[in-house]
DNA sequence: CAAATCTGATTAAGCGCTTAATCAGACTAT
DNA sequence: ATAGTCTGATTAAGCGCTTAATCAGATTTG
């Protein structure tokens, strides 16, 4: 296979200098319109493809962005990656991935690695506890507005408000929020938002899966049916995953969603629309977040770039989330357990623990 | 911030030539042990990091692999990405991602892009219909053994056999397989495997979600309860996603999994263990597949590399899948509808269509 | 002891591109 | 007519690294 043509091949074929070819192709120096056209033609004819390595060496810019995620295993990662890849490609950048395998130390290592590989900047979706300041390179952080150093992210709090208000508007008064663990800014924001949106009248409590599992083992029952008996008509999970688990558990308890109980999620994961009942949830505008993050990075990398389109100019830190009402939420009518503390339910309707999962 | 030191900085500091430094650091030329040590020390002291761009330009190898997926949005992508990233990192390579957004044309474009970016090779998880031959670069294809040109992949057929045999062993005799669409090699293999594993005695039929949705709209009911009435006791989905949907629909119909019906999935997605009932499924050995794919690629890129570890030497095309039995599968005892064609069920136990999803 | 060999280092060229500096010629302006 | 401007191109250096070729000196060899 023939080695790929380079600048001088074109130059030689046209009897000009390679600098002229470079100028013509990049539109930088002074080249007559006609020569410029000829060069462009010849380049296409020869199938010229600029060597990024050569360019990188010469300019000091690789046109590659590093994407580091706290945990590649996170179900939201695909959406992130896709959106970032798209935004980067549009800006003429490639995306190099790094994985921190959930570990903060590995994360730093991953970032260093990407920088060594020549990444011009890093997009970081951090694990809680990262010291962003230590990074010696342009960085855009996607976390949550309340985190210091956050560059751009979904407005998790506002998303929570959307959910809270939705539930209140449906007429729910007792709400249980399902969270994973306490030390996550994102979750804290979401929960804060839910509480705010739900309003001060209703009564709200929060369940921490972490704590429950620490006691009863991973995958254990969350005891939601019990809460329903105590008058809780709505469960707002801090992630679709937990919502799914909740729906699942409730249905196994003989409760129907949303006829008996309402369940909502967060993030609109891939399958949220295809389970039944389809999940009411809240979605981030990944596209927008990705575009903003990349735009911010480019601004750091090449400050004198062509001004970004107006719509980006605003560059809000917090991108609004969107409520997606599907069929897992409804008014709390026809509740199976209208009176509180009704413990004498038909055991057939509320089978206890049958089929708990222990692989 | 001080510009990063380069080879000649080290050379100057030690009063030697930069070639010597290069040789010492790469262990290639002839350098005395002592000088070599000094150089290594000085390098560390100055915080020297080799410029990949320089090296790439000089050697023609970027030490970057391109990862192209049919659809980054696919829920399995994280696992892929993570495994590949790991395998690549171990071999000293970075991973550049490309997304074909499900489109074959975009896919070709994505590959070209990565090559232009200097990727030394491509790992491709293709969309059905890709012309692999057209790729002008080392490629490793991860698809399914029955696809010509496949480099390495999970043994989907064998995985299917695992599922089929598991269901037969449990005592099921009527099985419905749930697939998405017909023109997928992977699905075809999985289904073929399931049928084979289930054996010729049982009766098996296949449901295509695609077809059903074309008729009744996306997210529609699959009519599984109806099948249960006709004596089907097991549903083997070709993906955890569809299994989830099946479980969900069955539970809403008042059927208990696995007490009444068995459901199995495929792929062991992230949440498969945390729904209830936890999903019986089959998992690919991503780690292994990724290692083999990367190893194969490296063999094409640098044929005279150090021989790979023995365990890789075998380099099977098809990596066995592993059956993961959880709680969604059980013997078909206590079926709610033991007799076939029992249509007179309590409507309360089988609510029809309430809460179908239309956002 | 001269010739051959080895060792440990240096020189120099080149990878493909960018870009500042330069230059020749043509065109204004005085 | 002569100095000053513009235009359209060229020259040349350099980005950081690798590597073949070279070389000086020390060590072996017949």
Q: How many CB atoms lie within 10 A of CB B61?
A: 16
In chain A, which residues fall in CATH 3.40.50.2300? 64-141+287-316, 167-283
Residues 6 or more apart whose CB falls under 8 angstroms from that of B14 comprise B21, B35, B38, B39, B42
Q: Is the pLDDT of residue A344 over 50?
A: no
Supply the mean pLDDT for chain A. Answer: 86
B106 touches chain A (CB under 8 A): no
Confidence class for position A131, pLDDT limits 50, 70, 90: low
Bridge-based pairing state of the strands B139-141 and B153-154: unpaired
Strand D bases with any atom < 7 A from protein Cβ: 7-12, 14-21
- Region A301-308: what's the mean pLDDT? 67
Q: Is the pLDDT of residue A313 over 50?
A: no
- The DSSP call for residue B303 is T
**CATH says B156-282 is which class?**
alpha beta
Mutate to test the interface with A, among B248, B277, B356 (most CBs of A within 10 A): B248
Q: Is the pLDDT of residue A339 over 60?
A: no
Q: What is the pLDDT of residue A2?
A: 65
- B85-143 pLDDT, tens per residue? 999 999 999 999 998 877 888 888 888 889 888 899 999 988 776 666 677 889 999 99
Cα–Cα distance between A16 and A141 in angstroms, integer? 46
- B173-227 pLDDT, tens per residue? 999 999 999 988 999 999 999 999 999 999 999 999 999 999 998 888 999 999 9
In chain B, which residues fall in CATH 3.40.50.2300? 64-141+287-319, 156-282
How close A18 comes to chain B (CA, Å)? Answer: 18
User: Which among A293-297, B40-44, B137-141, B157-161 has the top mean pLDDT?
Assistant: B157-161
Return the H-helix or E-strand segment holding B56. Answer: helix B52-59
Instruction: Kindly report the CATH number that applies to the domain delimited by B64-141+287-319.
Output: 3.40.50.2300
Which of A89, A351, A355 is opposite residue B327, by nearest beta carbon? A355
Q: Which CATH architecture has domain A64-141+287-316?
A: 3-Layer(aba) Sandwich (3.40)
Tell me the three state secondary structure of residue A205: strand
Q: Look up residue B121 and give its two tokens.
A: 């090779």
Q: Is the pLDDT of residue B357 over 50?
A: no
Q: What is the pLDDT of residue B72?
A: 72
Of A335 and A240, the structure prediction assigns the larger pLDDT to A240
Confidence class for position A136, pLDDT limits 50, 70, 90: confident
Q: Look up residue A24 and give its two tokens.
A: 């013509």
Return the H-helix or E-strand segment holding B246. Answer: helix B240-252
Return the H-helix or E-strand segment holding B318. Answer: strand B318-319
- Region B16-27: what's the mean pLDDT? 94
Q: Look up residue A240 and give its two tokens.
A: 């679709």
Q: What is the pLDDT of residue A346?
A: 37
With CA atoms as reference, the chain A residue closest to B330 would be: A355
Q: What is the pLDDT of residue B77?
A: 82
- B282-298 pLDDT, tens per residue? 999 999 999 999 999 99
In chain A, which residues fall in CATH 1.10.260? 7-50
In A185-285, which ranges are continuous DSSP H helix? 185-198, 209-216, 224-229, 240-252
- As to burial, measured by CB atoms within 10 angstroms (0-12 exposed, 13-18 middle, 19+ buried), residue B123 is buried
Confidence class for position B353, pLDDT limits 50, 70, 90: very low
Q: Is the pLDDT of residue A308 over 70?
A: no
Which of A79, A81, A359 is opposite residue B326, by nearest beta carbon? A359
**CATH says A7-50 is which class?**
mainly alpha
Tell how far CA A25 is from the center of its chain. Answer: 37
Q: Write out residues 140-169 of A within 8 Å (CB-CB) of B.
A: none
Q: Is the pLDDT of residue B48 over 60?
A: yes
Q: What is the pLDDT of residue A340?
A: 37
Q: Look up residue A20 and give its two tokens.
A: 């002229």
> Which residues in chain B have their CB less than 8 angstroms from residue A282's CB?
none
Helix, strand, coil percentages (3-state) for chain B, rounded to 5, are 40, 15, 45
- Region A130-138: what's the mean pLDDT? 75
With CA atoms as reference, the chain B residue closest to A74 would be: B78
In chain A, which ranges are continuous DSSP H helix? 7-14, 18-26, 33-46, 52-59, 77-90, 104-116, 156-170, 185-198, 209-216, 224-229, 240-252, 286-301, 310-313
* CATH H-level, domain A167-283: superfamily: Response regulator (3.40.50.2300)
Percentage, residues of chain A above pLDDT 90: 63
Cα–Cα distance between B283 and B269 in angstroms, integer? 8
- Region B28-48: what's the mean pLDDT? 92
């Amino acid at each position: 296979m023939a080695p790929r043509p380079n600048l001088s091949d074109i130059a030689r074929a046209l009897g000009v200098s390679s600098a002229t070819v470079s100028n013509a192709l990049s539109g930088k120096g002074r080249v007559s319109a006609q020569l410029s056209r000829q060069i462009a033609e010849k380049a296409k004819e020869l199938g010229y493809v600029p060597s990024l390595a050569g360019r990188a060496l010469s300019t000091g810019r690789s046109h590659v962005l590093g994407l580091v995620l706290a945990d590649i295993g996170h179900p939201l990662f695909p959406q992130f990656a896709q959106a970032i890849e798209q935004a980067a490609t549009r800006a003429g950048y490639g995306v190099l991935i790094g994985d921190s395998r959930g570990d903060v130390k590995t994360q730093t290592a991953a970032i260093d690695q990407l920088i060594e590989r020549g990444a011009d900047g890093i997009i970081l979706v951090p694990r809680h506890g990262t010291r962003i300041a230590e990074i010696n390179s342009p960085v855009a952080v996607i976390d949550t507005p309340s985190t210091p150093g956050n560059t751009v992210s979904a407005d998790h709090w506002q998303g929570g408000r959307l959910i809270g208000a939705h539930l209140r508007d449906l007429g729910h008064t007792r709400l249980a929020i399902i969270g994973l663990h306490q030390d996550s800014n994102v979750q804290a924001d979401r929960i804060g938002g839910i509480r705010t949106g739900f309003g001060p009248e209703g009564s709200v409590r929060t369940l921490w899966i972490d704590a429950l599992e620490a006691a009863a083992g991973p995958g254990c029952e969350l005891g939601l049916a019990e809460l329903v008996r105590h008058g809780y008509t709505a469960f707002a999970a801090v992630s679709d995953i937990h919502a799914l688990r909740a729906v699942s558990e409730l249905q196994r308890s003989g409760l129907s969603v949303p006829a008996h109980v309402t369940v909502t999620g967060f993030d609109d994961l891939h399958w949220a629309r295809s389970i039944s009942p389809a999940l009411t949830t809240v979605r981030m505008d990944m596209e927008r977040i990705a575009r903003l993050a990349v735009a911010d990075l480019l601004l750091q990398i090449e400050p004198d770039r062509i001004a970004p389109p107006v719509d980006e100019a605003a560059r809000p830190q917090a991108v609004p989330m969107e409520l997606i009402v599907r069929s897992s939420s409804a008014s709390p009518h026809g509740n199976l357990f209208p009176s509180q503390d009704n413990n004498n339910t038909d055991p057939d309707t509320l089978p206890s623990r049958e089929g708990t999962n222990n692989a």
